[in-house]
Amino acid sequence: MRPALDGIPAYVPGRAASEGTVSFKLSSNENPYPPLPGVLETAVATAGSFNRYPDMTCSALLTELAERLRVPVAHLATGTGSVGVAQQLLQATAGPGDEVVYAWRSFEAYPIITQISGATSVRVPLTAGETHDLDAMADAITERTRLVFVCNPNNPTGTAVPRAALERFLDRVPSGVLVVLDEAYREFVRDPSVPDGIDLYRDRPNVCVLRTFSKAYGLAGLRVGFAVAHEPVAAALRKTAVPFGVSQIAQDAAIASLRSEAALLERVDTLVAERERVESALAAQGWTVPASQANFVWLRLGEATVDFAAACEAAGVTVRPFAGEGARVTVAEPAANDLLLRVAAEFRRDRLVAG
C-alpha cells in the first residue's frame, strides 16, 4: 500500500438512531423529511431499468442545472456526492509535495481526501468566533499550495463568511491555486451578506463551487453532488470521474427534486425556522451558540463533549461529538429538537453549572 495511506483517520459516519426508545438521528446533517411523492415515484420508476448503466454524462441533469444556475453545461460536473467531487478535485490538482489549505475544524473529509492524494494538509485554526480566519488562510498559502477549501457555511460550526471578506481573500489567492467553495448547506443561508459562490465563480477562473443534493434536497442516500467551475477545472473533473458513478435513479431523482423545488424549499424554510427556535432556546438556557447558517448548531463543550453525546443518546437523540471540542447537532423535526433542548437544559444544569 502507498505510505500516504498510513494513519488516515477513518471517516466517522453519524451514529444511527438507536432502537427501542424514542430516537432521532441528529448526527449527519440529513434532511429529516422523507422524499416528496413526485421524487419518490420518479426514483421508483427509474429503478425498473437498473439492469442498464446510467447516462454517463448526466446530460439531462446538467441541462436542467445549467438553465437554473445560468452557467454553461461545460462548467458543470457531477460526482458521487459533493465529497466525491471534492476527492476528484484533489486527484486532479494535488500530490506528494503539494499543500492543501483549509480551516480547522471544518468538514472532516478534507484531511482524509487530502492525505489519500499524497498532499500535505495545512490546517488554519478557526477564529475565536468559530469562523474561517481568511487572513490567516491567505497567509498560509505558499508556492506549494494547490488547493484551498472554504466551507461556507462551515461544518461543524455553522458559521459563514460574508461576501466582502471572501472577495478580499480571493483577491489575495494566486491565480494558480484552486479555491473550492464548499456550499453543501447553501440553501439554508439566510444572512444576505453571505455570498452565493456561483456569483463569485463567474469572473474568477480559479474558483470552484461545490453543491449537493444530499442536504436541502434530501437525497443523501442517492449520492449526487456537483461542481460549478471554469475549464480546465470542469474538464479535469470529467476525466477523474468514476465512470457511471452517479446512478440513473440519482440523476432522475435530482431532476425531479429540482422540479419540486418550491415544495422542497418550503421544508427548508421550516428547518430554518426551527434552527432559529433552537438557537434562541439554547441561548436562553445559557449556551453560547455561534449563529448558524446551516441545518445544524455547534455546542463547544470541550471536555464535556463525550458525556453530552452520551446523555443525548440515553435520551433518544444521537448527535455528532468531536471529543474534547464540541458537538454538532442537526436541526430536524420539532419533536427531535424539543428532545435535544430538554437534554441540553438538563446537562447544562447538572453538569456545567452545578459542576
Ligand X SMILES: Cc1ncc(COP(=O)(O)O)c(C=O)c1O
**CA neighbor of 175 nearest in space, from 207, 201, 212, 206:** 206
> Cβ distance 241 to 55 under 8 Å?
no
- Given the complex with ligand X, which of 130 and 182 has the nearer CB atom? 182
Q: Which strands, in side-by-side order, build the sheet including 99-104?
A: 76-79, 225-228, 207-212, 178-182, 145-151, 99-104, 120-125
Binding to ligand X by CB under 6 A, coded x per residue (else -) over 4-43, reads -------------------------x--------------
Grid coordinates representing 5 are: 495511506
Binding to ligand X by CB under 6 A, coded x per residue (else -) over 168-187, reads --------------x-x---
| Contact window for ligand X (CB under 6 A) among 40-48, 51-59, 81-89, 157-165 | 81-89
Distance CA 88, CA 91 (A): 5
Beta strand 320-322 pairing with 326-330 = antiparallel
> What residues form DSSP beta bridges with 101?
122, 148
DSSP 20-79: SS--EE-SS----SPPPHHHHHHHHHHHTTTTSPP-TT-HHHHHHHHHHHT--GGGEEEE
- Residues that contact ligand X, how many (by CB under 6 A): 13
Instruction: State yes or no: residue 99 binds ligand X (CB under 6 A).
Output: no
> Cβ distance 341 to 289 under 8 Å?
no
**Residue of the chain from 93, 117, 155, 337 that contacts ligand X (CB under 6 A):** 155
Write the Ramachandran bin of 151: left for phi over 0, alpha for psi from -120 to 50, otherwise beta.
beta
Smallest gap, in angstroms, from Cβ of residue 111 to ligand X? 13
Helices (H) and strands (E) in the chain, counts: 12, 12
Instruction: State yes or no: residue 240 binds ligand X (CB under 6 A).
Output: no
Smallest gap, in angstroms, from Cβ of residue 155 to ligand X? 4
**Residue of the chain from 107, 188, 201, 347 that contacts ligand X (CB under 6 A):** 107
Smallest gap, in angstroms, from Cβ of residue 212 to ligand X? 3
**Residue of the chain from 113, 141, 151, 207 that contacts ligand X (CB under 6 A):** 151
Binding to ligand X by CB under 6 A, coded x per residue (else -) over 193-222, reads -------------------x-x-----x--
Instruction: State yes or no: residue 257 binds ligand X (CB under 6 A).
Output: no
**Residue of the chain from 32, 35, 54, 81 that contacts ligand X (CB under 6 A):** 81
- Given the complex with ligand X, which of 97 and 125 has the nearer CB atom? 125
Q: Where on the chain is the footprint of ligand X (CB under 6 A)?
A: 29, 81-83, 107, 151, 155, 182, 184, 212, 214, 220, 225
